[in-house]
Amino acid sequence: MDDFAQHEPLFTFGVIADIQYADIDDGYNYSRSRRRYYRNSLQLLRNAQESWSESAVKPEFILQLGDIIDGFNKGRNASDRALDTVLREFSSSPVEVHHVWGNHEFYNFSRSALLSSKLNSTPHTDRSLRGARAGSDIYAYHFSPFPGFTFVVLDAYDVSLLGREDSSEQYRKAMHLIKQYNSNEDLNCPPEAGGLLRRFTMFNGGFSKEQLDWLDSVLASTDEKRERVTIVSHLPVHPHSTDPICLAWNFDELLAIIRSHSSVVCFMAGHDHDGGYCQDKCTGVHHLTLEGVIETPPDSNAFSTVSVYEDRMVLRGSGRITDRVFLFPGPQSDTDHRA
Ligand code: ZN
């Protein structure tokens, strides 16, 4: 890795997940097994911003993987204030930020409010372009920061009880789906059945057919151009990259699409604050779940800087995030293993 570090990367970018800022005292997660540092998460974001702005090769952009502020803000009428506070911290440097939406975005704001907020980072030039966006109220888009490289932002709560009006057809369909697996009165409690079915909780969601079809067509185009694609989503989709309780409802359908295309090299998610990683055996695609800022002690950090080369991405983790090298999977001749 040291030899390699002497070469200039093509470009670099920063990644940070689950800041969940709130101006409240520390607390605990649902099972009371992890401490949450609601105020200090802002300081850890500041540390990340300082590190990125002082680095010799500055990031081209930042990926913010969702849950930027905590749901507790809603009950305190502090959603707008908390969001302003965090976004002000991000704007301390001029670098572009791509925001992913998580469950906590929907605890604080409606889908329509989010679409017209600063958390909608769809590039302005793309908003009117057919194909760049997945659908009228689906928050998914792609961008290319460097020739030959595409990033796709996915909406993991497109099919969900969160962010959909109770009276809508989408809500009714999501309720029908979750009830097939989860009979608990509190749908935030995972089903008794355990295993992979634990993902059917209200704090998760999934991808509609419309979004899956859109992704499929985006990847058909990047395959053809032999590009390298990184997909980002709040929810992980590989069962070995996360505790199954954090998986997207239809992770299997998303994985099948990734496996049917040769251009995807990496999938990045947040949501599971303990983080995780695996390399898909079928495709060699790297599935990274980034450790969450909110459960990171004040004397540590949780951000990473990724340098991209022709044949790999080199991730330098800060604090509790592990350094990793993601070699790009082989050329298209591998298709036998990708079905
Ligand atoms: Zn989350």
Helices (H), 146-298: 169-179, 209-224, 251-259
Q: According to the model, what pLDDT value does residue 125 have? A: 59
Residue 178 DSSP code: H
Q: According to the model, what pLDDT value does residue 123 have? A: 86
Q: According to the model, what pLDDT value does residue 133 have? A: 65
Summarised one tens digit per residue, pLDDT across range 118-145 is 999 998 755 444 455 666 789 999 999 9
Q: According to the model, what pLDDT value does residue 128 have? A: 43
Q: According to the model, what pLDDT value does residue 31 have? A: 82
Residue with tokens 């990724």: 306
Domain tally, the chain:
1
- On whether residue 318 sits in a domain, the answer given is yes
Q: According to the model, what pLDDT value does residue 229 have? A: 98
Is residue 299's pLDDT more than 70?
yes
Ligand 1 centroid to 316 CA: how many Å? Answer: 23
**Mean per-residue pLDDT for 47-70?**
95
- On whether residue 4 sits in a domain, the answer given is no
The chain-wide mean pLDDT, for the chain, equals 92
Ligand 1 centroid to 191 CA: how many Å? Answer: 18
For the domain that residue 16 is a member of, what is the CATH number? 3.60.21.10
Is residue 316's pLDDT more than 90?
yes
Ligand 1 centroid to 71 CA: how many Å? Answer: 10
Tally of CB atoms within 10 A around 101: 31
Tell me the percentage of the chain whose pLDDT exceeds 90: 86
Ligand 1 centroid to 234 CA: how many Å? Answer: 7
**Mean per-residue pLDDT for 328-337?**
56
Q: According to the model, what pLDDT value does residue 136 have? A: 76
- On whether residue 1 sits in a domain, the answer given is no
- On whether residue 339 sits in a domain, the answer given is no
Summarised one tens digit per residue, pLDDT across range 62-93 is 999 999 999 999 999 999 999 999 999 999 88
- On whether residue 188 sits in a domain, the answer given is yes
Ligand 1 centroid to 273 CA: how many Å? Answer: 8
Q: Residue 290 and residue 312: Cα distance in Å, rounded?
A: 18
Q: Strand, coil or helix: what is 150?
A: strand
Ligand 1 centroid to 335 CA: how many Å? Answer: 34
Q: Residue 235 and residue 334: Cα distance in Å, rounded?
A: 27
Q: According to the model, what pLDDT value does residue 337 have? A: 36
More confident residue, 208 or 335: 208
Q: Residue 94 and residue 89: Cα distance in Å, rounded?
A: 11
More confident residue, 5 or 238: 238
Q: Strand, coil or helix: what is 276?
A: strand
Ligand 1 centroid to 104 CA: how many Å? Answer: 6
Q: Which two tokens stand for residue 11?
A: 């470009």
Q: According to the model, what pLDDT value does residue 164 have? A: 92
Q: According to the model, what pLDDT value does residue 281 have? A: 93
- On whether residue 337 sits in a domain, the answer given is no
Ligand 1 centroid to 7 CA: how many Å? Answer: 36
- On whether residue 93 sits in a domain, the answer given is yes
Of 107-116, 127-136, 187-196, minimum mean pLDDT range: 127-136
Please give the residue range of the domain that contains residue 47: 10-327
Summarised one tens digit per residue, pLDDT across range 249-267 is 999 999 999 999 999 999 9
**Mean per-residue pLDDT for 180-199?**
94
Ligand 1 centroid to 246 CA: how many Å? Answer: 8
Summarised one tens digit per residue, pLDDT across range 193-242 is 889 999 999 999 999 999 999 999 999 999 999 999 999 999 999 999 99
Helices (H), the chain: 2-5, 40-54, 72-75, 79-90, 103-108, 111-115, 169-179, 209-224, 251-259
Ligand 1 centroid to 245 CA: how many Å? Answer: 11
- On whether residue 190 sits in a domain, the answer given is yes
Q: According to the model, what pLDDT value does residue 331 have? A: 59
Ligand 1 centroid to 293 CA: how many Å? Answer: 12
Tally of CB atoms within 10 A around 169: 9
Q: Is 324 exposed, middle or buried (0-12, 13-18, 19+ CB in 10 A)?
A: middle
Q: According to the model, what pLDDT value does residue 134 have? A: 62
Of 111-115, 237-241, 328-332, minimum mean pLDDT range: 328-332
Ligand 1 centroid to 309 CA: how many Å? Answer: 30
Ligand 1 centroid to 31 CA: how many Å? Answer: 15
Ligand 1 centroid to 14 CA: how many Å? Answer: 19
